[in-house]
Amino acid sequence: MKFFVDSADVHEIADLAATGLVDGVTTNPSLVAKTGRPFFEVLEEICRLVSGPVSAEVTATDVAGMLREASRLLEVAPNVCIKLPLTPAGLQACRALADRGAKVNVTLCFSPAQAILAAKAGAAFVSPFVGRLDDVGHDGMRLISDILQIYRNYPNFRTEVLVASIRHPLHVVEAARLGAHVATMPPAVLRQLVRHPLTDKGLEAFLADWAKTGQRIG
């Protein structure tokens, strides 16, 4: 499973990228707005910090506008992945960009039917939002299971399932259990994955025992 960081905070991204555990980044207009910095300045910096896909979202809602903005975004760096909404216009733009060899992340997916359309349109990634589904009383992870099952029925589908709107480590674990290709998560959730009180307790005991020996390594 690939791990993407869902953030536009370059300091957080740089810190996590240094671990070697980050395979890409997803952004959106809301995340970039929180930085208070110029959009393209932030995007260029993120693309330098990671070698994997960096999803940059268009703001146009019509096909011509989406393609125009996508062309500008693709000029930023070779690892830019165009993020498009799962709308009729977004799917049409996806098909056009995919035919040109561009990577596209179709976002705001909330049903298996939508995921089928994203794959048909040639998307590199489809982003089902599990947390937002959970918020309205639906089972977000059931959607992931359904999409993966459908995609496995059609080997010609090349679209990877990018689990988005992740709220906690259990979302990541369940997505991995189901076989999702990618999980994108806020920095805090990625850091939570390593934490366990028994790990901390065990390390504390090991270090205390070692200190009693009076020895040193190196």
**What are the angstrom distances between the C-alpha of 211 and each of 138, 156, 199, 203, 205?**
52, 58, 18, 12, 10
CB 105 within 8 A of CB 127: yes
* SS3 of residue 59 by DSSP: coil
Alpha-carbon gap, residue 218 to 213, rounded angstroms: 15
pLDDT higher than 90, residue 29: no
83 catalytic per annotation: yes
| pLDDT at residue 113, as a whole number | 98
* SS3 of residue 176 by DSSP: helix
Q: DSSP assignment, residue 125? A: E
6-42: buried (b, 16+ CB within 10 Å) or exposed (e) per residue? bbbbbebbeebbeeeebbbbbbbeebbeebeeebeeb
pLDDT higher than 90, residue 129: yes
| pLDDT at residue 95, as a whole number | 98
| pLDDT at residue 169, as a whole number | 97
Given the residues 2, 83, 103, 212, select the one marked as catalytic.
Answer: 83
Q: What is the pLDDT of residues 82-122, one digit of tens each?
A: 999 999 999 999 999 999 999 999 999 999 999 999 999 99
Q: Which residue, 109, 44, 55, 120, is CA-closest to 82?
A: 55
pTM for this structure? 0.94
Task: Catalogue all structural domains in the chain, each as residue range(s) with its CATH number.
Answer: 2-213 (3.20.20.70)
Taken in order 127, 130, 135, 138, is the CA torsion positive or negative? positive
Summary mean pLDDT of the chain? 97
| pLDDT at residue 17, as a whole number | 97
Q: What is the CA angle 109-7-74, rounded to 5?
A: 75
Alpha-carbon gap, residue 144 to 74, rounded angstroms: 29
Query: Mean pLDDT throughout 114-132?
Result: 98
Q: DSSP assignment, residue 164? A: B
pLDDT higher than 90, residue 218: no
Of 10-14, 26-30, 85-89, 170-174, least confident by mean pLDDT is 26-30
pLDDT higher than 90, residue 65: yes
**What are the angstrom distances between the C-alpha of 20 and each of 2, 4, 14, 52?**
11, 12, 10, 12
Alpha-carbon gap, residue 151 to 13, rounded angstroms: 31
Query: Mean pLDDT throughout 132-160?
Result: 97
| pLDDT at residue 93, as a whole number | 98
